[in-house]
A and B are shown apart, each in its own frame.
Chain A
Amino acid sequence: DAGVIQSPRHEVTEMGQEVTLRCKPISGHNSLFWYRQTMMRGLELLIYFNNNVPIDDSGMPEDRFSAKMPNASFSTLKIQPSEPRDSAVYFCASRQQAQGAFFGQGTRLTVV
């Protein structure tokens, strides 16, 4: 398996623009997580899905953030409109019950 695949690896966008981050989890994993990592706040869980259903989105900072998982092999995290304080590395991870989560390489987002 190629592991968790995220795209793009880097994204630079202007404030106010829409940003869409994509994730392909490992086949067979039933949980998917979106994390955000910054120097100030460390690793924050934004939202997680179980069997494609959002279970806990309490970490989503604002209504500008939304996430979807239309099927077991694809998820998106969207920010609309983006702001400079959204600049961070966004990680997607997937997990099978009772196992560790596997992380993608991350998307480094810069909003200017």
Chain B
Amino acid sequence: AQSVTQLDSQVPVFEEAPVELRCNYSSSVSVYLFWYVQYPNQGLQLLLKYLSGSTLVKGINGFEAEFNKSQTSFHLRKPSVHISDTAEYFCAVSRVQGAQKLVFGQGTRLTINP
């Protein structure tokens, strides 16, 4: 079975500072990896995905993530955050072959301070 661990439940940063949200996964088979963002009172929105190919993936709103197979990590980064990035961020994994369910981490609450 697959599992996802988001290492930080909360991350406070100042506006215009860089941020990294950490995600580690566990799986015995090849996986796809995803990051989602959830703004208050809204559903989850896909930020970016790693399916194959280049390990550096760029997504919406200036976010990017790097897949590291040896460390089983998929950390999310942004070089300069904005107040509007305040939200909950979820890392997720699914198998490449077989069951299509997405397994989510517990989420990281990103708070941007002015």
Contacts and interface: CB of A to CB of B under 8 A. Distances in A.
Interface of A: 4, 31, 33, 42-43, 45, 48, 50, 55-56, 91, 93, 95, 97-106
Given A98-B32, A99-B49, A100-B34, A91 B44 contact: yes
A97 B107 CA distance: 24
A88 to B, nearest CB: 14
Contacts of A43: 44, 90, 104, 107
Contacts of A48: 100-101
Contact of B51 (A31, A50, A98): A98
A4 B46 CA distance: 13
Contact of B106 (A42, A102, A103): A42
B109 to A, nearest CB: 11
B87 interface: no
A100 B49 contact: yes
Q: Is the interface of A mostly helix, strand, loop or mixed?
A: strand
Contacts of B36: 100, 103
Nearest to A101: B102
Nearest to B34: A100
B103 interface: yes
Contacts of B107: 42-43
B29 interface: no
B43 A55 contact: no
Nearest to A30: B100
Contacts of A98: 32, 51, 96
A91 to B, nearest CB: 6
A71 B37 CA distance: 29
23 contacts: A4-B43, A33-B102, A42-B104, A42-B106, A43-B44, A43-B107, A45-B101, A48-B100, A48-B101, A55-B99, A55-B101, A56-B99, A91-B44, A93-B102, A95-B100, A98-B51, A98-B96, A100-B49, A102-B46, A103-B44, A103-B45, A104-B43, A105-B43
A97 B97 CA distance: 10
